[in-house]
Chain A
Amino acid sequence: MHCQTVQSNIKLNQLTEIHMEHIRNCDTCMSCWVDQLGSVPDQVTAFIKNTSLDPCQALQTRLIGGIDDDLLQEHADHCKPCGELVAALDWADNNLTALREDIPDPNFVATVIAVTSGSRPWWSTMMKKLSQLAMRPRFALEASFVMSIVLFPFVGDLIEHRLTNIPTDTTPFITNQIQQKVQQAGILSFQWTQLQIGHMQPVQVESPWKWYQSMTHSETKGDSDERNP
């Protein structure tokens, strides 16, 4: 039987013994059934009470669903095997936490310390150091300074060489435009880095972009102001 069929029957609360058999063995449908029990408990309880479903199996199904209610207790009180099962479950609940901790031999900690000292991989320590270094404002500035010097001429060069291989009329125009933009970005990035180093402020992720926008924005604004005094 398909899970879909079972689940729609769960929603409609039209369950037969075949459905219950499936629910008992299917985690997905079981959790669907438990959700349904949460939303309309009386209906499903009534179903279990009036069905031809084997009461012991019904009890087990409810136990799997984590449902502990009067109906379950009522049956357990009158059925020896189920009563034993519920008692065993109670006993387990009361005693399982005893397994949470166990005391190892007294020299255990010393052994672990001896084994772990110096065993952390060098790259892990280096990455941690690097990330701590990167937290310093100066590091970010230095890094962005180096990046602006290295990246922009390199990117500009790369674009020029790539695009000039494509023979179209507009290629020189596009190449020119891109190169100009890249150069402009490189210069601005360089200026910004110098400015930041002057102020020694920590770098915010969005701040270079905001600054870039304000620079380009004020430029165009200035232009238009000149045109329309």
Chain B
Amino acid sequence: MQEPQLIEACQRNDALAWEQLVRNYQNRVFGFAMTFVHHRDDAHDLAQEIFVRVYKHLNSYDGSSSFQAWLFALARNCCIDRIRRNKVRSRFMAHVDEEAEFTCPQPTPQDLTETNNHRSMLQRALATLSEQSREMIVLKEIQGLKFREIADMLGIPEGTAKSRSGRARLDLAQALTRLGYGG
């Protein structure tokens, strides 16, 4: 089934189609969640929350934008809500670091392959960026959205999206150099 038909079927409450849609997007959504929270357990929770929201709001998707742009706009809101909630919570918990969201765990044995080394290095570099820069890297460089789609999502002019993206790339390169990325 092609994606538009699959989405229409989901909108008609077709359970099998919904399962297929979740399967098709689980890795993308989980990857997206990982760039925001880094801990697998948290990322599972967040990815699940994103799919619940997609399910609830799927009927409002009208096909006027690409489905992935719609999905990631919704996922982004979900992540922002989560971060905001955690920040509020951390204010009440004296021991929790405000930026705990973005600190990376020590490498696990899973991280020892080269790809995983690169991943963990990039995650660490991303964690040092400002929220704005990190978001640009995630949306543009990682998820491959178009500048037009990002501009619509963030409610900014396309030119601003472009220059923010350039600034974010520079920030990332500087962070990688500082961390001695080993490239």
| A interface residues (Cβ-Cβ under 8 A, vs B) | 27-28, 30-32, 34-35, 60, 63-66, 84-93, 95-105, 108-109, 111-113, 115-117, 119-121, 124-125, 127-128
Q: Is the interface of B mostly helix, strand, loop or mixed?
A: helix
**What are 14 A-to-B residue pairs whose CB atoms are below 8 Å?**
A30-B166, A31-B159, A34-B162, A63-B173, A64-B167, A88-B183, A89-B170, A99-B34, A99-B122, A100-B144, A101-B28, A102-B34, A103-B27, A104-B27
What is the chain A residue whose CB lies nearest that of B19? A113
What is the chain B residue whose CB lies nearest that of A124? B59
Besides the contacts A31-B160, A92-B176, A124-B56, what 13 more A-B pairs have beta carbons closer than 8 Å? A27-B156, A34-B163, A91-B176, A95-B119, A96-B141, A98-B115, A99-B31, A99-B122, A101-B30, A102-B31, A105-B40, A108-B48, A128-B12
In the complex, what residues of B have CB within 8 A of residue A66's CB? 162-163, 165-166, 169
Alpha-carbon distance A65/B111, docked complex (angstroms):
34
Alpha-carbon distance A30/B157, docked complex (angstroms):
12
Given A98-B122, A104-B44, A119-B55, CB of A128 within 8 Å of CB of B166: no
Residue tally, chain B, CB below 8 Å to A: 56
Q: Is there contact, CB below 8 Å, between A99 and B123?
A: yes
| B interface residues (Cβ-Cβ under 8 A, vs A) | 11-13, 15, 18-19, 22-23, 26-28, 30-31, 34-35, 40, 43-44, 47-48, 51-52, 55-57, 59, 115, 118-119, 122-123, 125, 137, 141-144, 156-157, 159-160, 162-167, 169-170, 172-174, 176-177, 181, 183
